[in-house]
Amino acid sequence: MAFDYELDFAQINFRDQPELYRVGRGEQGVLLVEPYKSEILPHWRFKTPEIAKVSSDKIYQLFLDYQAAGDFVGMDMSRKFLQMGYTRSRRYANYKGGRKYDENGDIKERIIDEEKAKSATIFEEKWKIVRENEAYLKLKKEHQKKYG
């Protein structure tokens, strides 16, 4: 089932109401789902490889904490932030200032920033670990079967 953008996200605590959470595709809803957004977002940074390492390690630790608590929604939100760390770092690695399109709507020429590419790789490594985590995959399947 697709992510439900019709919900009043400001009024929902998804820890208390996990049945309302839908996995969605990719990073859908990453900046909407509370209290997870407020718990994870302050740690999400990727400006340099050093910052990306600290950030991805912290988000991965949050993933493990959510796993220990049996909190699938927290695990999935951690996965989304790691994925978003990868995709945003890649965007900044490929395009100066992170802007893919120029003022005319044309795609800019790619100029690879190796430092930002390293940040992307750091996030990608953690993202792969969590998305292949057996407990995560089991809980994801159960959540989708039970709630859609």
Give domain limits for the chain.
9-147
- Tokens standing for 36? 């997870």
Q: Kindly tell me if the per-residue pLDDT of 99 is higher than 70.
A: yes
Mean of all residue pLDDT scores within the chain: 94
Q: Could you give the CA distance from residue 74 to residue 37 in angstroms, rounded to a whole number?
A: 9
Q: What's the pLDDT tens digit per position in 36-51? A: 999 999 999 999 999 9
Q: What is the pTM of this model?
A: 0.92
- pLDDT over threshold 90, residue 5: no
- Which residues, 6+ apart, have CB-to-CB distance to 118 below 8 Å? 49, 52
The per-residue pLDDT for 35 is 98
Residue 96 has pLDDT above 90, yes or no: no
Burial of 109 (0-12, 13-18, 19+ CB in 10 A): exposed
pLDDT, tens digit, 9 for 90 and up, residues 112-132:
889 999 999 999 999 999 999
Q: What is the pLDDT of residue 33?
A: 96
